[in-house]
Amino acid sequence: MEQEKRVTEQAKLETKPTQTTEIDGDESKEKEGKIISGYALKFGETSKDLGGFVEVITPEALKEVDLSNVFLLQNHDYSKPLASTKAGTLKLKVDEVGLHFEATLNDTSYAKDVYENVDKGLVDSMSFGFTMGVDSFDKKENGEVIRSIEAIKNLNEISVVTIPAYDSTNVQVDKRSYESFLETTKKTKKEDDNMEKTLIDREQTEMRAYENYIRSQGEEREGVTTVNAAAVVPSEVIGEVFDLKRSNYNLAQYATVKTVSNGQGKYPVATNQQAILATKAELAEIADVDADMFTQVEYKVETRAGKIALSNEVVEDSEVNIVQEVKDQLAKLVENTDNKHIVDLLKTFTKKTVATLDELKQIHNVVLDPALNKMVILNQSGYNYLDTLKDADGRYLLQPDVTAPSGKSLFGMPVVLIADSLFANPKAGTFPMIMGDIAQSIFVARRNQVTTQWEKFDYYSQGLAVIVRNDYKKIDEAASVYVEFTPVTGA
């Protein structure tokens, strides 16, 4: 079961200074502590759209949850713990509103920053990481689909979050139960226009024209939309919707993916400019800002496709749904295509050759901006090497992290593990890795992804094809680093 994250806006965060007694030798002295409180989650409040549905948490969701080992974190970062129930610094209470917390923050610089930001009202949102237990879906008459979280299996952490938005960092949803709901809905009633795709008569005509085009092997073109003499696949022949978030092994889930309406265009990005405001004398004209505020990521989608023919004898005689199996494999081809292009693009970022763990730490601490939502991508060989290293106290270098895709983190960065076959060692004894913010590094412009199926009457067979139209571009050259790690003895 995948780890999910959710934002709680208007968490009613409050601060409260308190006095604690500290013993120093034979003397006791008063020390000011810092307490924040609020709601980590609320019952019955409707979320924003989570990808086809909204969500509410029922009052029964926390009844069976063990709250004895929960951390309070900053932005889901396990390297920055603020308090914990085990240490007695985090108190949790379920009431009629939701899950209330009160935390005495530890004495660290980042904890003081959190306290000050909450106290000044700069931060007012919470998020929580959990594992789903039981959920259900209900479709209202107006077409809205509501997911009810009826039971949470595990609550691992709650976090004070800086950005009060439903973004990829603070909202992660395991949609398998939603997909199952959609399948059941399709089997028991007509497909809902508001659920999947709005179909209109004009498009139905276009679909029939496209089918005639396929069957005539391109000779009949009446009613078919073409670009540069090539037929455009109409939306009705979409057989599968390829959800880039469906598989943990699809690297596109970590990138910035946008559905674009044209084959080429520009994606505006705010620059990381460091300009300052000029001093202005009284009644003097305001000076122009000496900086480029925006840059453009230009994209131009390319069409990638593949097809396969199945004899109807094979289809009829197979004990399994061979057509569906082939469609699943075609979907895997799309995933493989994403992975290959994203890895190849990531390897063109600034290259660092390192030999020690201290050099790796320097990339994390100095080279990469501290504001980035950093992760590290390792291949199997590099993961195995780092996973066997211990520090002077006998602790493994890779630390457990329930929020990380691999279950481990490096220097607080979640580790994403991919196969050596996709991310090969450049040479024996050298391990490649990507360190950085993948969402700020890679832009995937997705124009269309479809599967088509047609009858080949003369051959008593069926044809299946998958077509994707997309492009892969860099967003921020400084957001990631390509590392080649050749460890020396004792690293």
Least confident interval from 107-111, 153-157, 260-264, 286-290: 286-290
- Give the pLDDT of residue 383: 94
**pLDDT exceeds 70 at position 63:** yes
Residue in 51, 479, 483, 481 with CA at minimum distance from that of residue 297: 479
Q: How confident is the model at residue 239 (pLDDT cuts 50, 70, 90)?
A: very low
d(CA 474, CA 270): 14
The dihedral formed by the CA atoms of 157, 158, 159 and 163, expressed in degrees to the nearest 10:
120
Sign, CA torsion 423/424/429/430: negative
In this structure, are residues 455 and 215 in contact, taking their beta carbons and an 8 Å threshold?
Answer: yes
In this structure, are residues 463 and 278 in contact, taking their beta carbons and an 8 Å threshold?
Answer: no
Q: Which residues contact 37 (CB under 8 A, 6 or more apart)?
A: 13, 14, 16, 100, 101, 102, 103
Distance of CA 296 to the CA centre of its chain: 23
Average pLDDT over residues 442-464: 79
**pLDDT exceeds 50 at position 237:** no
Least confident interval from 46-55, 341-350, 387-396: 46-55
Three-class SS of 399-456: EECCCCCCCEEECCEEEEEECCCCCCCCECCEEEEEEECHHHHEEEEEEEEEEEEEEE
Hey, what are 225's tokens?
A: 């939309």
In this structure, are residues 400 and 77 in contact, taking their beta carbons and an 8 Å threshold?
Answer: no
Question: Measured over all CA atoms, what is the biggest interatomic distance in the chain, rounded to whole angstroms?
Answer: 97
Amino acid at position 141, single letter: E
Least confident interval from 130-134, 285-289, 382-386: 285-289
Q: What share of the chain in percent tops pLDDT 70?
A: 75
- Which pLDDT tens digit goes with each residue over 89-127? 999 999 999 999 999 998 888 888 899 888 888 888 888
Residues, the chain: 491
Hey, what are 196's tokens?
A: 């999947």
Average pLDDT over residues 316-323: 70
**pLDDT exceeds 80 at position 256:** yes
**pLDDT exceeds 50 at position 88:** yes
Q: How confident is the model at residue 219 (pLDDT cuts 50, 70, 90)?
A: low
272: DSSP letter: -
Amino acid at position 373, single letter: N
Domains of the chain and CATH, by start: 3-186 (no CATH), 197-237 (no CATH), 238-491 (3.30.2400.10)
d(CA 145, CA 133): 19
Q: Which residue has the tokens 């880039």?
A: 244
- Give the pLDDT of residue 211: 59
**pLDDT exceeds 70 at position 474:** yes
Residue in 26, 280, 65, 248 with CA at minimum distance from that of residue 156: 65
Element spanning 134, H or E = strand 125-139
Q: CA of 239: how far to CAs of 32, 185, 223, 359, in Å?
A: 63, 16, 21, 49
Q: How confident is the model at residue 168 (pLDDT cuts 50, 70, 90)?
A: very low
Average pLDDT over residues 224-241: 47
- Which pLDDT tens digit goes with each residue over 329-358? 777 888 889 999 999 999 999 999 999 999
Hey, what are 293's tokens?
A: 């505020």
